[in-house]
Amino acid sequence: MTFRATPALDINASLIGVAGGRARLATPALVVELDVLKRNIALMAQNCRAAGIALRPHAKTHKCATLAKLQLEAGAVGVCCAKLGEAEALAAEGITNILITAPIVAAQALTRLAKLNAAIDGLIVVVDSPELVAKLSAAGAASGRPLMVLVDLDPGLHRTGIQPGEPAYALAAAVAGDPHLSYEGLQSYAGQIMHVGDAAERRAKAAAVTTLVATARDELTRRNLPPKIVSGGGTGTVDIDPAGGVFTELQAGSYVFMDREYNEVWTKAGERAPFETSLFVQTTVISAAMPQLATTDAGLKSFACDAGPPKLASGAGPSASYFFFGDEQGGVLCEKAEDRPNVGDVLACVVPHCDPTVNLHDALHVVEGDTLVAIWPIEGRGRGF
């Protein structure tokens, strides 16, 4: 008899609809609270409508077609993807109007890009170098219709983006003059200011970005190259960017989940985060031999660890803190012995950084109260190519 392992998406499937099923999940499990998630989606959509700005949420946060469809149903004009592979995975599930926010340059990727442009409506890519224009043009020609392009403008992050000024204007002209490309406007993402904890400093830095992008927009308009789209912004500046009057659409992504890093942007300053935490890693205590120490089944392989350890949300006393105990295990250290959880106890952790944490899991376990109501596959998980 040949043994067949249970598929990852099926391990917890028998608990769907079972009262108390949340506490019985095989762990580590990535859990999202549906009511909170929906409130975050609705609030962002409402805020954008009130500000007269479009919303194109960044799907690199969740990489999940079901969640993307909820955002689109709430009024989003499309989604962003960080990588071509993410865009392909979402497109396969019926998602269109996708902006890929990083340049695509490899030959095999450009071949795939042409196929994707032929397959879905509303695909947009970015360019930040003159050398890439010809390659994108060839992809557009191969797809049988013009490829929509935004000029990626560097707002000081220096990760991607052409420098503001004449180089950017010349690049826009080159895109606009190519028969296989459709010049759509500008992208400018200031990731360097998203986690600035001082509100006044974050506002001043965002204002400087607004001025930079407005200058480029106005000069391009003067040169008969007016941007139809000016895309940018993020969760850290959602309460700042719309008032600047420059961006036509916001790329915020983490607002659907929130994480320890983003929560601390506001809470460290004594403020309240504008969105609620909906995402958790659920873990189980597997050992508790020491009076003030417990070991869980969620270690480095369950959390992105670039931002430090997660924050305990439930399951242990107030003096407890979480740390990484190894690849497969986590640790809970308690100042007071009475705060230590016991073997079999279930803990919920606020993830330190949501985007890369999601990328470590196959599925979102969707809960309402103590009941598992659905399991959503994360189709874009691992599609970083």
User: Residue 199 is part of a domain; what is its CATH number?
Assistant: 3.20.20.10
CA atoms within 13 A on the CB side of 266: 16
Residues 222 and 304 in one domain: no
Q: Per DSSP, what are the bridge partners of residue 348?
A: 282, 314
Residue at 266 is within a domain: no
Domains of the chain: total: 2
Q: What is the pLDDT of residue 68?
A: 98
Q: What is the pLDDT of residue 7?
A: 87
Residue at 114 is within a domain: yes
Burial 179-208 (b: 16+ CB within 10 A, else e): ebbbbbbbbbbbeebbebeeeeebbebbee
Residues 373 and 309 in one domain: yes
Residues 235 and 286 in one domain: no
DSSP for 9-34 reads: GGTTGGGTT-TTGGGG--SSEEEEEH
Domain holding 302, by residue range, is 8-32+274-377
Q: Which DSSP helix (H) or strand (E) runs through 209?
A: helix 199-222
User: Residue-wise pLDDT tens for the chain (385 aa)?
Assistant: 789 988 889 999 999 999 999 999 999 999 999 999 999 999 999 999 999 999 999 999 999 999 999 999 999 999 999 999 999 999 999 999 999 999 999 999 999 999 999 999 999 999 999 999 999 999 999 999 999 999 999 999 999 999 999 999 999 999 999 999 999 999 999 999 999 999 999 999 999 999 999 999 999 999 999 999 999 999 999 989 999 999 999 999 999 999 999 999 999 888 999 999 999 999 999 999 999 999 999 999 999 999 999 999 999 999 999 999 999 999 999 999 999 999 999 999 999 999 999 999 999 999 999 999 999 999 999 999 9
pTM beyond 0.75: the answer is yes
Q: What is the pLDDT of residue 269?
A: 86
Residues 44 and 21 in one domain: no
CATH number of domain containing 346: 2.40.37.20
Residues 22 and 64 in one domain: no
Residue at 267 is within a domain: no
Q: What is the pLDDT of residue 8?
A: 85
Of 143, 274, 131, whose CA–CA distance to 202 is shortest? 274
Residues 197 and 345 in one domain: no
Q: Residue 177 and residue 184: Cα distance in Å, rounded?
A: 12
Tokens of 295: 């070991």
Residue at 80 is within a domain: yes
Residue at 1 is within a domain: no
Residues 18 and 74 in one domain: no
Residues 88 and 215 in one domain: yes
- The CA-atom distances, in angstroms, between 29 and each of 26, 281, 293, 299, 382 are 7, 6, 22, 12, 17
Residue 227 CA, chain-centre distance (Å), reads 25
- The CA-atom distances, in angstroms, between 378 and each of 63, 64, 94 are 6, 5, 14
Residues 253 and 303 in one domain: no
Q: Residue 55 and residue 36: Cα distance in Å, rounded?
A: 19
Residues 194 and 322 in one domain: no
* DSSP conformation class of 58: B
**Residue located via tokens 């993830």:** 351
Q: What is the pLDDT of residue 126?
A: 98
Instruction: Specify whether the CB–CB gap between 372 and 365 falls below 8 A.
Output: yes
CA atoms within 13 A on the CB side of 249: 24
Q: What is the pLDDT of residue 374?
A: 98
Residue at 328 is within a domain: yes
